[in-house]
């Protein structure tokens, strides 16, 4: 497999800012050896002491928020204020696991019927590989690293090729917080080297957040080598609007969530499914919001290639009869701007119906009943999250209970927080991160029985 160099390309200008060499095979072996030998001692550090180190990581994220946000803006175009928010979320995640981790990892007694005492212990398993994406370059690392550092696992982190600066900044935080050498190692690995790492008997698991394609390759490698894996893949989440006493509020909520991170969030409301009596007003209010955005005031998507791919999906829909109400203008190369768009009339013969639109495009569908809304919501290969809005919570809950997703929300686009588990079903992957379930993935749930 050919592999691009790790390089920073500013998506606002197309300028290559910095390039880093891919790791040598010897450096990969050094990383594996360091991670393996560090595990031998890190797993035996009392969890309260590991918590002190993880708390220091949280503090350093907070202290460096502005600097980290600026790196993300340069590397993948994230608006500065959103970069700061992302880093603050990382602080919350590391604090949550430092505080709650000892309780979450405590022994669980089992009721026995044959005498003796039995408990399930939650023990670390060893070195893990994390493969992380560019869209949330800090948060994605935090939700993988925080629980596993608390458990006593060690981490080899392979970040996306486009965000090497973010990767190095996190590695520096780990060092400065007192994470011992080898417990957290950043590698600029190639695709072939990823295969080498997963196959290495010292590695005990792999977590990937990324595309379906990457997920299927990594899952195959993990399976071949009998390694546990966690996959957080794409999403095409429905936001169902049944009725509302506050249309402006729901539209504002819908638009803000869809445009967050310039539309590049896995769990964004990519398919807005609106009841026919609200549909025209909903679309016209969304269109007003899109048209109110002045040229030069919105952020680029992550890369020129991403902008062109998104434009191709929208152009395909429009060529087959969909209506583009606003936006949808691709900037001249090499910049990666795509103006925030509103699209309706998407049908099954269009790519936009079945593919994930990873960028600032709000797609709105019209339905005539709760049953039709539910059928459309579930008519996707993905199953990450979804939401249902109604002035009648019972009506919304009835639909939300039937969503084929890992995260179902009522009258909220997404329940979010360090304590709220994140993950999906179907082609959105498997496994969970954050919350109590985040401590439950890469763990030896050892049964410990003592006879009377």
**DSSP per residue, 228-268:** EEEEE-----EEEE---S-HHHHHHHHHHHHHGGGG--TTS
Distance CA 92, CA 288 (A): 35
Contact 382, 389 (CB under 8 A): no
* Residue 37 burial (C-beta neighbours within 10 Å; 0-12, 13-18, 19+): middle
DSSP conformation class of 422: B
Catalytic residue among 266, 356, 433, 441: 266
Contact 376, 273 (CB under 8 A): yes
pLDDT reported for residue 4: 57
266 as an active site residue: the answer is yes
Neighbour tally for 394: CB within 10 Å: 8
- Mapping DSSP to helix (H, G, I), strand (E, B) and coil, where does residue 133 land? coil
Distance CA 41, CA 356 (A): 43
Neighbour tally for 85: CB within 10 Å: 17
Contact 302, 336 (CB under 8 A): yes
Identify the residue whose tokens are 């996707």: 380
356 as an active site residue: the answer is no
pLDDT tens sequence for the chain (452 residues): 344 589 999 999 999 999 999 999 999 999 999 999 999 999 999 999 999 999 999 999 999 999 999 999 999 999 999 999 999 999 999 999 999 999 999 999 999 999 999 999 999 999 999 999 999 999 999 999 999 999 999 999 999 999 999 999 999 999 999 999 999 999 999 999 999 999 999 999 999 999 999 999 999 999 999 999 999 999 999 999 999 999 999 999 999 999 999 999 999 999 999 999 999 999 999 999 999 999 999 999 999 999 999 999 999 999 999 999 999 999 999 999 999 999 999 999 999 999 999 999 999 999 999 999 999 999 999 999 999 999 999 999 999 999 999 999 999 999 999 999 999 999 999 999 999 999 999 999 999 999 99
List, in sequence order, every beta strand (DSSP E) within 399-451.
407-410, 425-426, 429-430, 444-450
Strand order of the sheet with strand 228-232?
Answer: 184-186, 154-158, 127-131, 205-209, 228-232, 429-430
Q: What is the distance, to the nearest Å, from the Cα of residue 89 to the centroid of all Cα atoms in its chain? A: 13
Contact 160, 240 (CB under 8 A): no
Catalytic residue among 100, 232, 356, 433: 232
pTM as predicted: 0.97
Distance CA 347, CA 321 (A): 9
Distance CA 20, CA 58 (A): 27
Element (H, E) at 186: strand 184-186
Distance CA 136, CA 17 (A): 20
In this structure, what token pair is assigned to residue 7? 């390089």
Give pairs for 325-334: CB < 8 Å, separation 24+: 325/283, 325/286, 325/287, 325/290, 326/287, 326/290, 326/291, 327/290, 327/291, 327/293, 327/360, 327/361, 328/361, 331/300, 331/307, 333/14, 333/304, 334/13, 334/14, 334/304
List, in sequence order, every beta strand (DSSP E) within 187-344.
205-209, 228-232, 238-241, 271-275, 323-326, 341-344
Going by C-alpha positions, the residue among 90, 77, 80 that lies closest to residue 163 is: 77
How many Cα atoms within 13 Å fall on the side-chain side of residue 136? 24
């Amino acid at each position: 497999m050919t592999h691009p160099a790790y390089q920073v390309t500013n998506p606002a200008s197309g300028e290559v800012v910095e390039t880093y060499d891919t790791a040598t095979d010897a450096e990969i072996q050094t990383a594996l050896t360091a991670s393996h030998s560090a595990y031998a001692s890190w797993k035996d550090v009392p969890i309260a002491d590991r918590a002190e180190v993880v708390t220091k990581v949280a503090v350093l994220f907070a202290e460096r928020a502005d600097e980290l946000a600026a790196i993300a803006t340069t590397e993948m175009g994230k608006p500065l204020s959103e970069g700061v928010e992302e880093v603050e979320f990382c602080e919350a995640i590391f604090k949550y696991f430092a505080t709650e981790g000892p309780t979450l990892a405590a022994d669980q007694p089992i009721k026995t019927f044959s005498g003796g005492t039995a408990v399930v212990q939650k023990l670390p398993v060893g070195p893990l590989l994390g493969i992380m994406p560019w869209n949330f370059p800090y948060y994605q690392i935090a939700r993988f690293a925080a629980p596993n550092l608390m458990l006593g696992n060690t981490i080899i982190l392979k970040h996306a090729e486009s965000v090497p600066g973010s990767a190095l900044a996190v590695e520096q935080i780990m060092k400065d917080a007192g994470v011992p050498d080898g417990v957290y190692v950043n590698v600029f690995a190639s695709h072939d080297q990823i295969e080498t790492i997963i196959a290495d008997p010292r590695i005990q698991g792999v977590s990937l957040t990324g595309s379906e394609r990457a997920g299927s390759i990594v899952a195959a490698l993990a399976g071949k080598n009998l390694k546990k894996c966690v996959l957080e893949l794409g999403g095409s989440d429905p936001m169902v609007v049944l009725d509302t006493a506050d249309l402006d509020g729901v539209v504002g909520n819908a638009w803000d969530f869809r445009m967050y991170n310039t539309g590049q969030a896995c769990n964004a409301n990519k398919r807005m499914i609106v009841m026919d009596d609200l549909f025209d007003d909903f679309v016209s209010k969304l269109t007003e919001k899109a048209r109110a955005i002045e040229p030069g005031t919105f952020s680029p998507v992550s890369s020129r290639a991403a902008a062109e791919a998104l434009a191709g999906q929208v152009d395909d829909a429009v060529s087959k009869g969909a209506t583009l109400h606003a936006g949808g203008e691709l900037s001249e190369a090499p910049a990666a701007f795509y103006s925030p768009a509103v699209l309706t009339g998407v049908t099954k013969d269009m790519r936009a119906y079945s593919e994930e639109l990873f960028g600032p495009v709000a797609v709105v569908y019209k339905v005539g009943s709760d049953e039709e809304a539910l059928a459309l919501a579930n008519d996707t290969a993905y199953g990450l999250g979804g939401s249902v809005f109604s002035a009648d919570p019972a009506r919304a809950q009835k639909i939300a209970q039937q969503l084929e997703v890992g995260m179902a929300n009522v009258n909220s686009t997404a329940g979010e927080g360090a304590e709220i588990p994140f993950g999906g079903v179907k082609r959105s992957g498997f496994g969970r991160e954050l919350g109590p379930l985040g401590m439950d993935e890469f763990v030896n749930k050892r049964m410990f029985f003592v006879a009377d």
